[in-house]
Amino acid sequence: MRPTALITGASKGIGLAIATALAPTHDLLLGGRDQVALKELADTFPSARPFAVEVTDHEGLAQRTAGIEWLDVLVHSAGMAKLGHIADTPAQVWRDTLELNVIAVAELTRLLLPALRAAHGQVVLINSGAGQNAHPNWGSYAASKFALRAFADVLRAEEQDLRVTTVYPGRVATDMQRSVREQEGGEFQAGSYLRPESVAAAVLTAITATPEAHIQDITVRPKG
């Protein structure tokens, strides 16, 4: 029986790279908003199904997770980044950022804990270098990623039968990074950043670690 992995943000970027890396060995639940796009993507993998839901819709999450009784891997890859000085960042930006980057993660994990416990499973959280060091203009995003780091640490301590891994990538060549560079007023140079596949490789290392090994934190930065 193949293990099952649910990946949020699976339709592009890091989430898609992780789905591709796990597809040969796992049955996949592909998380995202667009049912049609997810179905088309699922058809390209050996064994995959769409898991279409808005992760900030808590009622929708509860409905979509109700039938999941066994889950080997949960990967949280969905997220957002809106830059700006604290003086120029309204409350709604903080709410939106924390809702997607932290609260949705906590709620989806909570709903799936029985299934993860049944499988003695693993939770993987795609964090950021901003979850290790906070810089000007990154207030709401860094705060959300520091909170995600704390969430992982507490989950690991409370659910000791699970493996909980946080991955801290540097800049990755994704659509999100393109948006970040536009907000910074800089040029998007894909060759200067990590490839999504490099982050996926780090995730795969944690997931395929021998049973007694618990890889808790991985930092990945572009070489050079």
**pLDDT tens, 3-21?**
999 999 999 999 999 999 9
Residue 85 reports pLDDT greater than 90 = yes
Q: How confident is the model at residue 1 (pLDDT cuts 50, 70, 90)?
A: confident
Q: What pLDDT is stored for residue 95 in this prediction?
A: 98
pLDDT band at 49 (very low <50, low <70, confident <90, very high): very high
| One-letter identity of residue 150 | A
The predicted model gives 159-185 an average pLDDT of 95
User: pLDDT category, 78, cuts 50, 70, 90?
Assistant: very high
Q: Which residue has the tokens 């908003």?
A: 33
Is the pLDDT at 117 greater than 80? The verdict is yes
Write out the residue range of the structural domain in which residue 41 sits. Answer: 4-220
Residue 46: partners with Cβ closer than 8 Å, 6 or more residues away:
23, 24
pLDDT band at residue 224 using 50, 70 and 90 as cut-offs: confident
The Cα-based distances of 144 to 140, 157, 185, 220 in angstroms read 6, 20, 23, 19
Six token digits for residue 4:
């099952």
3 state SS of 198: helix
Q: Has residue 83 got a pLDDT over 90?
A: yes
pLDDT at 50 over 80: yes
Q: CA 223 → CA 61, 126, 165, 172, distances in Å?
A: 38, 19, 22, 12
- pTM metric for this prediction: 0.96
DSSP per-residue letters across 111-164: HHHHHHHHHT-EEEEE--GGGT---TTBHHHHHHHHHHHHHHHHHHHH-TTSEE
Measure the N-to-C terminal CA separation of the chain; round to a whole number of Å.
Answer: 42
How wide is the angle at C-alpha 54 spanned by C-alphas 204 and 1, nearest 5°?
40
CA 50 from centroid of its chain's CA atoms: 16
- Say how many domains are in the chain: 1
Nearest to 12 by CA among 160, 210, 178: 178
Mean of pLDDT over the chain: 96
Is pLDDT above 90 for 24? yes
**Is 47 within 8 Å of 96 (Cβ atoms)?**
no
pLDDT in tens, 180-218: 999 999 999 999 999 999 999 999 999 999 999 999 999
DSSP 71-108: -SEEEE-------B-GGG--HHHHHHHHIIIIIHHHHH
The DSSP output letter for 189 is -
Q: What is the CATH number of the domain that holds 105?
A: 3.40.50.720
